[in-house]
Amino acid sequence: MRIAMWSGPRNLSTAMMYAFGNRADFAVWDEPFYAPYLKATGANHPMRDEIIAGHETDPTIVAQRCLGTIPDKKLHFYMKHMPHHMITGFPLDWARDCINIHLIRHPARVIASYGAKRDEMTLEDIGFTQQAALYDQIGGLVIDSADIRADPERMLRKLCDAIDLAFDPAMLAWPAGPCAADGVWAAHWYNAVHQSTGFASAEGPLPMVDDKHHEMLAKALPLYEKMQARKL
């Protein structure tokens, strides 16, 4: 089984990668197309030079590896992907041989969390437009990060049932600290999950969004709501 888990940033995606990576039968891969995206676009992201130096930057090679031999002789392969990394010209046909799952989160929470890590952001940076377009193109399952945080075991069992995978309790907890599969960018983005040993508790009220991001929220919200209507 090959799982392509699609989500924007600040969306529980790293915790989900850790959950699957803690299973004995899964290999995991952290954002394979991030380095190709940075090289192709010239986007000025934190640790850009280190990411490009430390990871494969050819999208064709990355796409081939998505369908190649699963690392470490594992039975299954979990790949954490971001829709906005899949720019025009990057191969996507490989995804049709995967189980595609779309992880979503309310845009107010994404904007607040992303803004805490990066001073400037655009709608393109948080991926809602690209995720909606990708879903229309390849389909798949949808799961909301809020539901996972509210009841991790119930939602992970529900997800496993939906993809005909046996649930493993090992998905509910993992060792504190970095994971061997972390991308180079973990040093900037993953401090919270490195301090965790499982999923965070249910989220509280929606955060306030800065006035300068209200237009972004207004554009992202209907895209999120369209996806949410299809969630597990």
The yes-or-no verdict on residue 115 having pLDDT over 90 is: no
Q: Is 132 helix (H, G, I), strand (E, B) or coil?
A: helix
Q: Is 35 helix (H, G, I), strand (E, B) or coil?
A: helix
Q: Which domain CATH number covers 138?
A: 3.40.50.300
The yes-or-no verdict on residue 125 having pLDDT over 90 is: no
- Structural domain for 30, as ranges: 2-228
| pLDDT over 90, % of the chain | 85
The yes-or-no verdict on residue 119 having pLDDT over 80 is: no
List, in sequence order, every beta strand (DSSP E) within the chain. 2-6, 26-30, 76-81, 99-104, 141-144
Give the count of domains, the chain.
Answer: 1
Tens of pLDDT, residue by residue over 143-185, are 999 999 999 999 999 999 999 999 999 999 999 999 999 999 9
pTM for the predicted model, two decimal places = 0.94
Tens of pLDDT, residue by residue over 1-25, are 999 999 988 889 999 999 999 999 9
Contacts of 94 (CB under 8 A, 6+ apart): 63, 64, 66, 67
Contacts of 70 (CB under 8 A, 6+ apart): 2, 27, 76, 77
Percentages of the chain per state (helix, strand, coil), in multiples of 5: 50, 10, 40
